[in-house]
Structure formats: structure tokens, C-alpha cells
Chains A and B, each alone.
Chain A
């Protein structure tokens, strides 16, 4: 099992540019999460999907952020236009639901985004 795969590992872009982060969850997992990590705010849940459907996007900071999951093996998080305050590490995570419980989150290695 390759785990959750994120790309790119590092992204440096200029303010105003569009940024797309990519994630491949663990095969068979039906939940996918996008988190953002900063020193000031810690790990923030941005959005999560269940069976490719967005369930809760209340953590998305503003309309500049959007996320999609076109199929069970791929998700994107897009920022357009990007701003310096978006600089952070973005983690994707996946998990598997089962009855009566659930499995832990498995995190990818993250994408370190720097907006200059």
C-alpha cells in the first residue's frame, strides 16, 4: 500500500496565480479530507468528502478555495487567486468507514505552499 499520495511536495508561486494541489487516497478508502497546517492556527479541516461527495466545506476560508473529487482515486484543492496568507502545509488524508466504527485518518506527506 503506497499510502496517501500528494503532489507536488513543494509549490512556490506568486500572488495572484492559480494553485492546484493533488491527492490520491488509499485505495478503498471512502472518506477524503483536506487539512491546512500553520503555526498560528494548527491543523484546520478545510473540507471532506464521502464517496466522492463533498459533505462539509465550512472550513474552506473563502471563495478563492475550491475542492473536487471527480472519482474515488483523485481529489484536487484549488486556490485562485492565491495570496501570501495562503502559505501553509496542506495535508490530504483518507479513511475507511465500517460498521460499527471507523478507521483512523491516514495522512499524505503534505504540500508546502509558499505564495510570494
Chain B
């Protein structure tokens, strides 16, 4: 089955800097890679997703890249703000079988 590894587990940046979170997956059949943000005590919420037929996707300060050959994908947050502080989860798989990484706790210091 699919296995998703996520790094780093914690990340601290200064406000305005960029943050990068990386994930790898094992199943070459996986074709969907979403990223979720979870604030303390709340539910995970989708922030961006990418499908296997696309190499890069951007939404304002957030971008995701996918390298199918190497089986890894990354989340890039530019111009970080204190409200970006949360736990971020990557996931990989297909409809009905989405496996999540262990999460990255991002802290943005003012």
C-alpha cells in the first residue's frame, strides 16, 4: 500500500521568510496529492492540491510542486505570516485511499 513520508516534523521561520515542506510517496499509482492545514483543536482544511498530470500549482502565497519520477512533492509558502502557524499535512493516493504524512508543525515568529 501507499506510504507517505513528510519532513521536517517541525519548522520555525521568521515572518516574511519562505517555508518549504517536503513529502515522498511510494505507490506509483497514486495520482492525487493534497495539502491540509490544521490549527490547534480544529479540523484539517484543504489549502491546495495537485493531480499527477500537473507539475506545479500556485495559489497566491502557496505553491505545490510534484516530481512523479522521483515520487516527491513539496509545499512552498512565501512571505509567511503569523497566521500561517499550524500543522501542515501532505497526503497521497487516489480517490478513496488517501494516506497522510505525519505532519509538520510550522511556527512563524513575528
Contacts and interface: CB of A to CB of B under 8 A. Distances in A.
B74 to A, nearest CB: 19
A35 B96 CA distance: 12
B34 interface: yes
A34 interface: no
Interface residues of B, number: 21
A70 interface: no
Interface residues of A, number: 23
A110 B43 contact: yes
Interface centre among B34, B98, B102 (most CB of A within 10 A): B98
A107 B100 CA distance: 13
Contact of B95 (A42, A91, A97, A106): A97
B61 interface: no
Interface string B37-54: 000001111100101000
A interface SS class: strand
B interface SS class: strand
Nearest to A56: B97
B63 interface: no
Contact of A42 (B42, B43, B97, B103): B103
Given A43-B89, A91-B44, A109-B42, A104 B97 contact: no
Nearest to A49: B96
23 contacts: A31-B96, A33-B96, A42-B101, A42-B102, A43-B44, A43-B89, A43-B100, A43-B103, A45-B97, A55-B96, A56-B96, A58-B1, A91-B44, A95-B95, A97-B95, A101-B32, A101-B51, A102-B32, A104-B34, A104-B46, A107-B44, A108-B43, A109-B43
Interface of A: 31, 33, 35, 42-43, 45, 48, 50, 55-56, 58, 91, 95, 97, 101-102, 104-110
Given A48-B97, A101-B32, A102-B95, 17 more contacts: A31-B95, A35-B100, A42-B89, A43-B100, A45-B98, A45-B100, A101-B51, A102-B32, A102-B94, A104-B34, A105-B34, A105-B46, A105-B98, A107-B43, A107-B44, A109-B43, A110-B43
